[in-house]
Amino acid sequence: MSRKKIIAGNWKMYKTPQQAREFVTAFLPLVADHKRDEIVLCPPFISLIAVVGATKGSNVMVGAQNMHWEKEGAFTGECSPEMLVAEGVTHVIIGHSERRQYFNETDDTVNRKLEVALEHGLTPIVCVGEVLEEREANLTEDVLRRQCSRAFRGISAKKAAKLVVAYEPVWAIGTGKTATPEIAEEAHMVIRHEAEKSFGKEFASALRIQYGGSVKPDNAKSLMSQPDIDGALVGGASLDPQNFAKIVKY
Ligand code: 13P
């Protein structure tokens, strides 16, 4: 089963709309003929419109870093799936560890967001991953199984077709400590197996699972060469157009 890799840049809370446009101007020519992989930029909400506009007609797609599950309502500070779709956003990151850690995101809210993102035709990137204490206590597999099964609860394989999962071990995020390709591959196999339990074998073998956590131009190739690693979710190294282009073209 060949899976098209998805390389996404998660800019987190970096770049003004002007800086975002400048990035796109520099980045697009560097990846213009790159057809092998799906390329996605995920800027903060305020820059989504700028990045959608600047990437129009190119091979680069745009994702949000979060969304609410309701259509509209009194939810100060939130953004709905409908609003994202209306502006040409195609992807959305759900359940990033920083949202779980600082903004009270739970397995339950991830499940609600996933369901609604799929209903709106968005490509959801559901993030899972263990913290250091869990890895040291040999709980990685349990954590991944729990996060996946709860995220996928009540969703059919048919509905979930566009699902992407990102394995992001929390101890590897922003630390410069990348999971070895072997550690990442092992975790990806656990996630694929859990997807098989929820959605069936055929679905699981087509499911794209990204790795995230200190992906850099010099380690992208060895990670991407693992059989179960189907792309990368890149933080820090996606802020520079040259670096991110090197990762895309690993
Ligand atoms: P870094 O690449 O900066 O470690 O961040 C990874 C990440 O959290 C992407 O979502």
Q: Look at the domain 6-248 and name its fold.
A: TIM Barrel (3.20.20)
Ligand 1: atom nearest CA of 173 is 4
DSSP characters over 17-76: HHHHHHHHHHHHHHHTT--SSEEEEE--HHHHHHHHHHHTTSSEEEEES---SSSSSS-T
Which of 173, 214, 223 to mutate for ligand 1's pocket (most ligand atoms within 8 Å of CB)? 173
**Predicted confidence (pLDDT) at residue 1 exceeds the cutoff of 80:** no
C-alpha 36 – ligand 1 centre gap (Å) = 22
96 is catalytic: yes
> Which of the residues 68, 96, 98, 188 is marked catalytic?
96
pTM value is 0.97
Q: Can you read off the two tokens belonging to residue 210?
A: 């990204």
CA dist., res. 178 & res. 49, Å (int): 32
Give 176-211 pLDDT, tens digit per residue: 888 899 999 999 999 999 999 999 999 999 999 999
Domain boundaries, the chain: 6-248
Query: pLDDT over 70 for what percent of the chain?
Result: 100
The sign of the torsion formed by the CA atoms of 11, 13, 14, 16 equals: positive
Distance 51 CA to ligand 1 centre (A): 20
Is the distance from the beta carbon of residue 213 to the nearest atom of ligand 1 less than 6 Å? Answer: yes
**Residue 130 is a catalytic residue:** no
**pLDDT tens, position by position, 11-26:** 999 999 999 999 999 9
Q: Residue 160 corresponds to which tokens in the numbers above?
A: 């979930």
pLDDT tens digits, 224-240: 999 999 999 999 999 99
Mean pLDDT of the chain: 97
